[in-house]
Structures are given as structure tokens and as C-alpha cells.
């Protein structure tokens, strides 16, 4: 009971002391609010009150309702708690907090351990962090937020140490408050200086950043200007070079034109003088006439050239659409409408892009994606080339049963898209063109009337034994540019083709000659394959062959069997161009008339290689090989002196005219151009002792090293016309 009385007495003394300092606290309220806001105001080192720390606050009310609450701080020998700040934005000069307007510099405590102040329109709050206490009896005084130590009982006679809770005198409290005000003022000045310094640094940073941006912008602008200048210089240089090049080109063209004009004038003058001195006007006219005729028949023996498409269509039994209205444009416009009225039938029902003329319907490149439904029973010819047709449905030809020719080339037909037996209803069909589609198999159930079948440029991967079943009337079969080889073409596939005479299988993947070729075959084309050998028995059944084309393969003379074709009595034409021959092959057919060996690597023509032929070889093409002065022997052309009509030895490496050419009595066309001929003997081509009529129609000797001035006047006595001799230009040394 006594201890309780002591404690109450002590608290009453503290309250009396606080009442006396109320006026001073009111004057220093703003200062204390700022101190609480900033968290500063700790006693400095060495100060007498350096061990004092705020431990709590007690409200003092004068008894007036709604009076102002004054917070009085008490101190204890503990360290100052750490603080942190939360800033709540407000209006300029005043602050609004929880609906209440606070004047500038106002201080209040919304919660225990939190002190807030209105500063320049912002609410700044200080939240006190209590320190860790190291005592046995901590307690939190009334109005305070942090605990204090009460290790000893006040006024305990057994404790010799002074009571830590004993109150200070009014003088001590005034001194402490004065020092705190001075320190707080100094701290506030320091903070103001620090804030001014921070603003100054921020302003400086902004200025530096602006200066940096300005410099970067200037550098970028400078780089852009330099780049523009460089581009302008480059463009100017390029234009100058282009102008220079154009000027140079114009100058060169002018010089060439002038040189060509001078050369032409000189040639014309030479021609005029020569004709004036040597020939009469009538003979010259005759020679010009012969010259035109001979130009038309130059290399007439090249039977391996593909005939033009127009010529091929001209021999077709079905008439082509009449080509009319080639005359006057006005007549064409006037007659066009009448022709359209006559030819177009209302029952035709043709899609856009299709034309009809007589018994022919043409829908080429009409952008069709499906087979057009037609009902024209008298129709004979139908062309759907160049569309995007993917399928032929069942009954597609029910309305056009009398078709004789169908052209479905360059579409997108697949094997699965063609309905089974769709062609069987066409009892008169003789020609079917399916070139340029996506077929992988030969269409089945084709009509037996078919005479010509073309499936070039597809994706055929096999030909089965029944692929050509019942096609006994087929005469022409073309399956070029597919994926065929000896491994996927059955030897029995050609057995039904008892009348086949023309077979084209070029641009596939054959390594050997296909087996089982029909005996009726007359012409066989296997160019652009991978054929490496010809065996003895491969042509045993095809004894009627007249022409074999094996150009662009991998044959050499050692891989051709001696008995492969030597005894064939009808084989007259063989094309072995662009293979791997080093010699003119031996054991050629006895009946051979045309032999093409262009584009090989032939270095020698063996002696007597043509001697066994009857009646003899007539057309021999050895252009673009490697024949030199030692590659042609005196006996190389033995057996061909009386039969040779055309001989091409151009684009080789000959240094002289080969021996034996002057003995060829039937030679009409001779090409020796683009060689290395330097010496041209008087009797190299024409025999001066031969008094027979001139027989050579055309002679090519340009692009050699011949000096025309050193050629004897009688060197071309066997040439029908001097204008048929081509000597210019010649290569220079």
C-alpha cells in the first residue's frame, strides 16, 4: 500500500511540472511537430541529454470540452527509435486528412506511435519504431507507445541507486527543451539546405540531361546531314558513271555501226566489181536464185529435228478451226457477228471463254476447274488445254459421244480423278492428249479405236502388263518426261500394241533399253535418259526399226555390243549426240545413212569404220568434238567417197582440211568452220584434175586462221557459186 502511494505521488508531481511548461510547449508545438516528422532531434554526442529518448506522451486537458490536446514527451536512458515517413498528397498550403482540413504546420496524432504534420499541402507522418528493451520489468506508460524499464521499485530503501523514474526539475526540463529547440532548428536548417541542395542537383541534372539531349540531337542531325551528303555524292557519282557508260556505249555503237557500214560498203564494192568482171547479169540472177534454193535445203538430212507443232497439227485427220478474218479489219468486224450467229448454237451451252466452229469446240486457257457439261452430239474435236481441271466424272462424254480428238493437256488431272471406263463410251476416239497433268498411271479402259496417245510431262511411275490392253490400233505412244525406268516398265506392257510404230520415252530414268519393245516399231526415241550400254539382244525383236535416237545419255563406244544392230537391214538413222564417245563407234548398221555424233569427245575417226556400209553413209555430223590434225586418217572416210552428201566437222581442232574430202563426188554441204585450219592447199577440197560439173552447194570455212589472199583461185572450182563459200571472218593470230 505504501508503494502504491509513492507511485501516485510521483505522477502527481510530473503532472504539476507539465502544467507549468504548458505555455512553452504551445510555443514549441510547431518545432516539435517538425522534429517528429523528420525523425531528427536526437541528442548529439557529448551533450548532457544524449542518453534521453522519447518514451511516451500524456494528454493534458484543461477541462474545457473540445480543448487542444498537448503531447508532453518524457525521456528515458534508451536510444531514439527509428522512424519512417508516409507522404499523403494534399492541397497547396492546407491539408485534408480523413475529411478534416488542416492548416499549414498543424501537428496531430491519428494513432498511437504515429505523429503527422501538414507541411506545404502534404501530410507527413512519423511512425515510431520502438527499440528492444533489456530489462526485467518493461511497461508502457499511459499515453506512450513504447515500453520503458522499471527494474527497481521506487523508494525502496534496499536499493541504493537513484530512482530512474524520479521527475526532473522545471529548470532541467526548460534546459532540455531549449537545447532540443536549438538542435531542431539547426536540424531544420540542415534539412532545408539539404532540400535546396537536392533541388539544385535535380535542376542541374535536368539541365545536364537537356544539354545531353541537345548534343545528341545535334550529333544525330550532323550524322544525318553527313549521310545525306554522302548519299548525294554517291548518287552524283553513280549518275556520272551512268552517263559516262551511256556515252561510251553510244560511242562504241556508233563506231561499230560506222565500221559495219564501211565493211558492208567494202563488201558491196568487192561484190560489184567481182560480178562485173567475171559474170554476166543473167548468170548472176541465176546464181542468186540457186543460192536462195540451196539455203532452204541446208542440212536437209537432219531427220532428228522435231517437226514444228504447226506442221504436226496440219497432218491431223481432224480439220483445225478455219483461220478467217485476216483481211481488212472492217470486214472482220462486220462478218464477225454473222459468223458468231451461224456457229454458236443455243443448245451448245458453252462456258465463258469457249468457242465453237463447225464440229470443233475450243476452251483453251478458259480458267475452267471442272469438266464442262456439253451436249453436242455432232462434235468431233474438243480442246480443253491450259485450264485447272482436276477430274473427269462419270458420264462426262454422254452429250458428246462422237468425239475423235480430245486435248486435255496442261490441266491438273490425277489418276484418281479420272472415273473408271469414262472413255469407253467414245467409240470413235482416235487421238487423246493428256500432256502436262499429274497422272501416275496410264488411264484404264481406253477405247480400242485409239491411234495416238500422249501422256508426256506427267508423274507416271509404272507401266503394268495391262496398261495398254485392247489398244491394238495404237500407232503413236508418247510418255516423255515421267518417272519411268527399266524397273517399273513391265516387259509385257507393249505386247498388246501390235501396230505401234512410233514410241517416245525420252527424259525418263532408263539405264538400259526397255525390254519387250513391239516388233512393229519403226522409230524409237530414248534421248535424255541415263542409258550406259546397249546389249547384243536388245533389238533382236525390233528388226523393222528405221530410226533410233539415243542423244544425251551416258554411252561410250566400248559399251555398244558388236552385234547390237550391225545386221539390221532397215536401220538408217542413229542419233548418239551428247554422249561419252571418244571414237566413232565400230559395228554400225550396214544400212546406216544418217549418223549424228555431235557434242561428244571424239578424238579419232578409225580407218575403214564406214567401209562395210551399203549403199554408204550420206549424212555425218561430227560437230563440237575434239578432232585434231592426227585424228583423221587417210582411210577414215573409205567407203563414203561416193555416198557422202553432208559432212559437218565444224567446232573441232582441225589444223588442215582432212584427207579424202576432195574425193567425195556427191558432197553438197561441207562445214569446216570454227577450227584451227591455217594451211589451205589448192586441192584440199576440189580436185583440179576432175572435170565433172560443180557439186558443192555450200562451204563454210569462217573462224579459222586462213588468209583469203593466199587461197588459190582454183581451190573452189568444185563449188557451184563463189557466193556459197563463207570465208569471213577469220580468227587473228
Between CA 113 and CA 97 the distance in angstroms is 17
Question: Comparing 109 with 449, which gets the higher pLDDT?
Answer: 449
Question: Quick check: 431 pLDDT over 90?
Answer: yes
Q: Are 90 and 109 in contact (CB under 8 A)?
A: no
Question: Quick check: 308 pLDDT over 60?
Answer: no
Give the per-residue pLDDT at 171. 83
Pairing type for strands 100-102 and 107-111 reads: unpaired
The domain in which residue 127 lies consists of 2-167
φ/ψ of residue 124, rounded to 5? -110, 120
Q: Report yes or no on 105 lying in a domain.
A: yes
Between CA 503 and CA 520 the distance in angstroms is 11
Angle between the 2-20 and 170-278 helix axes, to the nearest 10 degrees? Answer: 70
Residues forming a β-bridge with 76: 53
Give the per-residue pLDDT at 121. 80
Mean pLDDT of the residues in the chain? 78
HSE, side-chain direction, 13 A CA sphere, residue 179: 14
Q: Are 677 and 701 in contact (CB under 8 A)?
A: yes
pLDDT digits (tens, 9 = 90+) for 538-562: 999 999 999 999 999 999 999 999 9
Question: Comparing 227 with 333, which gets the higher pLDDT?
Answer: 227
Residues forming a β-bridge with 73: 57
Find the mean pLDDT for residues 713-721.
86
Q: Report yes or no on 368 lying in a domain.
A: no
3 state DSSP class of 96: strand
Find the mean pLDDT for residues 361-389.
93
Residue 92 banded pLDDT, cuts 50, 70, 90: low
Give me 313's grid cell: 497439227
pLDDT digits (tens, 9 = 90+) for 313-337: 333 333 333 333 334 434 444 444 3
Please name the residue ranges forming H helices in 400-453.
none
Q: Which helix (H) or strand (E) holds 549?
A: strand 547-549
Residues forming a β-bridge with 453: 432, 477
User: What contacts 42, CB < 8 A, 6 or more positions away?
Assistant: 50, 53, 80
Give the per-residue pLDDT at 125. 84
Give the per-residue pLDDT at 329. 35
Q: Which helix (H) or strand (E) holds 548?
A: strand 547-549
Question: Which own/partner pairs from 147-154 qualify as long-range (CB within 8 Å, at least 24 positions apart)?
Answer: 148/55, 148/56, 148/76, 148/78, 149/76, 149/78, 153/3, 154/3, 154/6, 154/7, 154/10
Give the per-residue pLDDT at 292. 45
Between CA 92 and CA 104 the distance in angstroms is 9
Between CA 390 and CA 392 the distance in angstroms is 7
Q: Are 548 and 571 in contact (CB under 8 A)?
A: yes
Q: Report yes or no on 174 lying in a domain.
A: no
Give the per-residue pLDDT at 274. 64
Give the per-residue pLDDT at 533. 94
Cis amide bond preceding 615, omega within 30: yes
Name the least confident of 208-222, 250-264, 629-643: 250-264
Q: Report yes or no on 145 lying in a domain.
A: yes
Give the per-residue pLDDT at 50. 35
Find the mean pLDDT for residues 236-243.
88
| DSSP secondary structure string for all residues of 28-48 | THHHHHHHHHH---PPPTT-T
Terminal Cα-to-Cα distance of the chain (whole angstroms): 143
Find the mean pLDDT for residues 194-220.
89
Q: Report yes or no on 56 lying in a domain.
A: yes
Give residue for cell 542440212.
299
Residue 36 banded pLDDT, cuts 50, 70, 90: very low
Give the per-residue pLDDT at 102. 84
Give the per-residue pLDDT at 437. 96
Question: Comparing 689 with 560, which gets the higher pLDDT?
Answer: 560
Residue 153 banded pLDDT, cuts 50, 70, 90: very low
3 state DSSP class of 463: strand
**In the chain, % of residues over pLDDT 90:** 42
Q: Report yes or no on 377 lying in a domain.
A: no
pLDDT digits (tens, 9 = 90+) for 438-468: 999 999 889 999 999 999 999 999 999 999 9
Find the mean pLDDT for residues 299-306.
60
Find the mean pLDDT for residues 93-120.
82
Give the per-residue pLDDT at 12. 73
Name the least confident of 334-338, 650-654, 683-687: 334-338
Give the per-residue pLDDT at 170. 81
pTM: 0.57
Give, as one character, the DSSP assignment of residue 471: -
Give the per-residue pLDDT at 75. 37
> In residues, how long is the chain?
733
Angle between the 29-38 and 170-278 helix axes, to the nearest 10 degrees? Answer: 50
Give me 327's grid cell: 483481211
Give the per-residue pLDDT at 6. 64
Pairing type for strands 646-648 and 431-433 reads: unpaired
Question: Quick check: 501 pLDDT over 70?
Answer: yes
Give the per-residue pLDDT at 94. 84
Give the per-residue pLDDT at 433. 96
Question: Quick check: 165 pLDDT over 60?
Answer: no
**In the chain, % of residues over pLDDT 70:** 74
Q: Report yes or no on 192 lying in a domain.
A: no
Give, as one character, the DSSP assignment of residue 164: T
Give the per-residue pLDDT at 493. 93
Residue 520 banded pLDDT, cuts 50, 70, 90: very high
User: What contacts 430, CB < 8 A, 6 or more positions away?
Assistant: 317, 404, 405, 449, 450, 451, 452
Between CA 331 and CA 44 the distance in angstroms is 121
Residue 694 banded pLDDT, cuts 50, 70, 90: confident
Residues forming a β-bridge with 503: 477, 524
Q: Which residues of 686-701 are buried (b: 16+ CB within 10 A; e: fewer)?
A: bbeeeeeeebbbbbbb
Q: Report yes or no on 389 lying in a domain.
A: no
- Neighbouring CB atoms inside 10 A of 265's CB total 10
Number of domains in the chain: 1
Give the per-residue pLDDT at 281. 57
3-state secondary structure 569-592: CCCCEEECCCCCCCECCCCCCCCC
Give the per-residue pLDDT at 498. 94
Distance of CA 657 to the CA centre of its chain: 52
Residue 76 banded pLDDT, cuts 50, 70, 90: very low
φ/ψ of residue 454, rounded to 5? -120, 120
Give the per-residue pLDDT at 321. 36
Distance of CA 52 to the CA centre of its chain: 85
Q: Which residues of 23-55 are buried (b: 16+ CB within 10 A; e: fewer)?
A: eebeebbebbbbbbbbbbbbbeeeeebeebbbb
Give the per-residue pLDDT at 552. 97
Amino acid at each position: 500500500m505504501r508503494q502504491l502511494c509513492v507511485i501516485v505521488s510521483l505522477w502527481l508531481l510530473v503532472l504539476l511540472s507539465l502544467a507549468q511548461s504548458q505555455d512553452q510547449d504551445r510555443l514549441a508545438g510547431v518545432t516539435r511537430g517538425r522534429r517528429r516528422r523528420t525523425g531528427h532531434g536526437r541528442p548529439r554526442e557529448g551533450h548532457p541529454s544524449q542518453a534521453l529518448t522519447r518514451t511516451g506522451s500524456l494528454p493534458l486537458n484543461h477541462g474545457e470540452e473540445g480543448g487542444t490536446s498537448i503531447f508532453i514527451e518524457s525521456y528515458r536512458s534508451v536510444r531514439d527509435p527509428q522512424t519512417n515517413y508516409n507522404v499523403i498528397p494534399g492541397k497547396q498550403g492546407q491539408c485534408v486528412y480523413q475529411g478534416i482540413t488542416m492548416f499549414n504546420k498543424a501537428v496531430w496524432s491519428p494513432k498511437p506511435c504515429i505523429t503527422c504534420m501538414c507541411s506545404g499541402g502534404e501530410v507527413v507522418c512519423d511512425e515510431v519504431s520502438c527499440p528492444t528493451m533489456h530489462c526485467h520489468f518493461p511497461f508502457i506508460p499511459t499515453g506512450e507507445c513504447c515500453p520503458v524499464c522499471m527494474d527497481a521499485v521506487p523508494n525502496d530503501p534496499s536499493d541504493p541507486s537513484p530512482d530512474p523514474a524520479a521527475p526532473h526539475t522545471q529548470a532541467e526540463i526548460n534546459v532540455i527543451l531549449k537545447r532540443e529547440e536549438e538542435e531542431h532548428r539547426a536540424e531544420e536548417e540542415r534539412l532545408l539546405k539539404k532540400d535546396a541542395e537536392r533541388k539544385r542537383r535535380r535542376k542541374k541534372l535536368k539541365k545536364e540531361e537537356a544539354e545531353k539531349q541537345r548534343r545528341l540531337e545535334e550529333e544525330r542531325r550532323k550524322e544525318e546531314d553527313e549521310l545525306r551528303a554522302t548519299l548525294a555524292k554517291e548518287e552524283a557519282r553513280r549518275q556520272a558513271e551512268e552517263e559516262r557508260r551511256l556515252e561510251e556505249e553510244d560511242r562504241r555503237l556508233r563506231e561499230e555501226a560506222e565500221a559495219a557500214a564501211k565493211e558492208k560498203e567494202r563488201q558491196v564494192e568487192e561484190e560489184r566489181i567481182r560480178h562485173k568482171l567475171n559474170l554476166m547479169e543473167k548468170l548472176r540472177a541465176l546464181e542468186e536464185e540457186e543460192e536462195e534454193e540451196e539455203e532452204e535445203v541446208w542440212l536437209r538430212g537432219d531427220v532428228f529435228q522435231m517437226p514444228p507443232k504447226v506442221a504436226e497439227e496440219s497432218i491431223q485427220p481432224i480439220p483445225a478451226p478455219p483461220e478467217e478474218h485476216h483481211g481488212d479489219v472492217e470486214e472482220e468486224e462486220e462478218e464477225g457477228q454473222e459468223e458468231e450467229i451461224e456457229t454458236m448454237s443455243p443448245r451448245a451451252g458453252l462456258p465463258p471463254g469457249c468457242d465453237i466452229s463447225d464440229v470443233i469446240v475450243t476452251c483453251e486457257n478458259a480458267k475452267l476447274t471442272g469438266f464442262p457439261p456439253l451436249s453436242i452430239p455432232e462434235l468431233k474435236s474438243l480442246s480443253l488445254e491450259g485450264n485447272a481441271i482436276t477430274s473427269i466424272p462419270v458420264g462426262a462424254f454422254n452429250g458428246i459421244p462422237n468425239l475423235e480428238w480430245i486435248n486435255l493437256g496442261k490441266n491438273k488431272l490425277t489418276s484418281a480423278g479420272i472415273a473408271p471406263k469414262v472413255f469407253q463410251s467414245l467409240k470413235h476416239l482416235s487421238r487423246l492428249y493428256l500432256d502436262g497433268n499429274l497422272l501416275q498411271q496410264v488411264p484404264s479402259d481406253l477405247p480400242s479405236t485409239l491411234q495416238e496417245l500422249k501422256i508426256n510431262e506427267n508423274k507416271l511411275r509404272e507401266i503394268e502388263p495391262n496398261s495398254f490392253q485392247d489398244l491394238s490400233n495404237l500407232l503413236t505412244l508418247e510418255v516423255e518426261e515421267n518417272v519411268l525406268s527399266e524397273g517399273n516398265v513391265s516387259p509385257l506392257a507393249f505386247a498388246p500394241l501390235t501396230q505401234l510404230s512410233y514410241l517416245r520415252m525420252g527424259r525418263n530414268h532408263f539405264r538400259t533399253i526397255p525390254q519387250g519393245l513391239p516388233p512393229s516399231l519403226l522409230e524409237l526415241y530414248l534421248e535424255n535418259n541415263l542409258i550406259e550400254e546397249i546389249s547384243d539382244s536388245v533389238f533382236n525383236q525390233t528388226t523393222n526399226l528405221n530410226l533410233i535416237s539415243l542423244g544425251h545419255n551416258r554411252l561410250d563406244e566400248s559399251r555398244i555390243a558388236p552385234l547390237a544392230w550391225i545386221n539390221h537391214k532397215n536401220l538408217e538413222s542413229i542419233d548418239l549426240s551428247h554422249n561419252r564417245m571418244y571414237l566413232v563407234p565400230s559395228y554400225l548398221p550396214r544400212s546406216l545413212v544418217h549418223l549424228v555424233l555431235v557434242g561428244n569427245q571424239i578424238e579419232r575417226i578409225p580407218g575403214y569404220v564406214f567401209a562395210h556400209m551399203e549403199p554408204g553413209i550420206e549424212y555425218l555430223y561430227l560437230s563440237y568434238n575434239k578432232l585434231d590434225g592426227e585424228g583423221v586418217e587417210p582411210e577414215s572416210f573409205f567407203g563414203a567417197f561416193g555416198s557422202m552428201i553432208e559432212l559437218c566437222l565444224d567446232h573441232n581442232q582441225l589444223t588442215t582440211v582432212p584427207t579424202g574430202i576432195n574425193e567425195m563426188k556427191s558432197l553438197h554441204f561441207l562445214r569446216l568452220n570454227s577450227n584451227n585450219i591455217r594451211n589451205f592447199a589448192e586441192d584440199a577440197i576440189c580436185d583440179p584434175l576432175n572435170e565433172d560439173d560443180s557439186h558443192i552447194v555450200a562451204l563454210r570455212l569462217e573462224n579459222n586462221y586462213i588468209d583469203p589472199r593466199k587461197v588459190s583461185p582454183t581451190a573452189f572450182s568444185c563449188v557451184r557459186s563463189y557466193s556459197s563459200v563463207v570465208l569471213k571472218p577469220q580468227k587473228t593470230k
